[in-house]
Amino acid sequence: MRIVHVAPYCETVPPPRDGGTERAIHELTEGLAAKGHEVILFAPPGSSSSGKLISYPEQPISEEDIGKFVLGTLPEGADLIHDHTFSSAIGKMNLPIPTVCTMHLTNNNGVRHPVYVSRRALEQTGKNIGHFIYNGLRFEQYQFSDLKDNYLLFMGRIIREKGILLALDIAERTNRRLIIAGPKHDPELFRTMIEPRLLANPNLIYVGSVGGQQKQDLLKHADCVLFPSLWEEPFGLVMIEAMACGTRVLALNTGSVPEVMAGFPQLICRSPEEMVNKLLFDVPQISPYALRQYVVSRFSAEVMTERYVDYYLKVIRETPRAAAAPAEAVGTPAAGQPEPVPMPPTDAPPAPLMPNPAPPVVSHAGRRRGRSHKSLRFSRKQAAGKQASRRQPGKPAANKAKAPRTKRKKSAVVRPAGRGSRKIKKTA
């Protein structure tokens, strides 16, 4: 298949450090290319791909402009478009090309073929309309270790919803060392509510955004990763990254956590107090090898790629292909509908570009195409002669006085919806 992937304009694909969405896009596109599919990736400058890369302009653009850019540079012959933008900018255009839209956040964009990254997201955000496919990783890129150091790790964006303040509370109440790694997406929160606590407690350490070997070392040597997320986490890639390195994850029972951590329910907590108690008195002892084997069998990039390929084929079979997109449909979402109305299927072949020649018809000026008024009068005389030849023998034709000529009324034109035909409405 020739598959076009459209990334958001946030991080490069793959991201150098943070960016779970871009990492999932990279794993999927590389997996598709490895299986022999032709991949075309639209992504920010600095991205890389085993397929064909089409970079966005250097200056960041909005997702609406991403849609216009893709539409203006889309290569011919694409079998399917996979839209990863957070607003489903391509999916809302209702193009005749089959289009799949992955919802990497808690968005319901009302598009035709939405894919959510967990069953929980499909149920809560998608209202069970659409499909779900788990994110996956190439686990050979994650270093494993069964040797652990005595520190807790929080890795993710520094925002309130990720539970960073709860992680600080848990570390302080258990008197454990906590390493915090992630970008400051809420600088005000960091300045007013996090930095003062870092300065007051040497056990709380902020190392900033991490990637490469530094990220690998932090993940594989942590005693435990804290995941006290407060929102409907669609997936939570850091959980499977930690387990791939053989590290336990202690997580609150929110969002997709029960699905991702289904193999280790003893690590799922109903409250921050339960997380504190587990760390102080009853932290579950789980083999690092069991943790890695669990995610390899359940959340690999190969499994994710195979599921997407199956879904692509299903969408292509169910999507009627048109010779061209209706002019009014391009860029126009289905207002007020959870899903755009698909084009009606037909078993007939598409109409030819040029219609077959239509029989001569009379125009509003009283002409037939290609015939003059003189030829029309000649045809009427011929018809009158034929009518006279059919009279019964022995009955002479009645003498008729020549009627004065009257001005002929213009005929009204009736134009039907079909192309290449006109009809005249006869007047009395």
Has residue 10 got a pLDDT over 70? yes
Q: What is the pLDDT of residue 147?
A: 96
- Distance spanning both ends of the chain, measured CA to CA: 63
Has residue 391 got a pLDDT over 80? no
Q: Which stretches within 132-271 are classed as H helix?
A: 164-174, 187-189, 195-200, 212-221, 237-244, 257-260
Q: How does pLDDT run across 348-369, given as a tens digit for each residue?
A: 343 333 343 343 343 333 333 3
Contact 319, 94 (CB under 8 A): no
HSE-up (13 A, CA, CB side) for residue 42: 29
* Arithmetic mean of pLDDT, 376-388: 44
Contact 107, 120 (CB under 8 A): no
Q: Which residues are CB-neighbours of 376 under 8 A, at least 6 positions away?
A: 366, 367, 368
Q: How does pLDDT run across 285-317, given as a tens digit for each residue?
A: 999 999 999 999 999 999 999 999 999 999 999
Q: Compute the distance between CA of residue 9 and CA of residue 31 in angstroms, rounded to an integer.
A: 22
Contact 100, 112 (CB under 8 A): no
Q: Which amino acid is at 108?
A: N
Has residue 347 got a pLDDT over 70? no
Residue whose tokens read 């997996």: 31
What is the residue extent of each domain of the chain? Answer: 2-137+303-318, 140-298
Has residue 270 got a pLDDT over 50? yes
What is the secondary structure of 254-275 as a DSSP string?
-TTHHHHTTT-GGGEESSHHHH
H helix and E strand count, the chain: 13, 15
Q: How does pLDDT run across 97-154, given as a tens digit for each residue?
A: 999 999 999 999 999 999 999 999 999 999 999 999 999 999 999 999 999 999 999 9
Q: 140-298: which CATH architecture?
A: 3-Layer(aba) Sandwich (3.40)
Q: Give the CATH fold of the 2-137+303-318 domain.
A: Rossmann fold (3.40.50)
Judged by DSSP in three states, 228 sits in coil
Domains 2-137+303-318 and 140-298 share a fold: yes
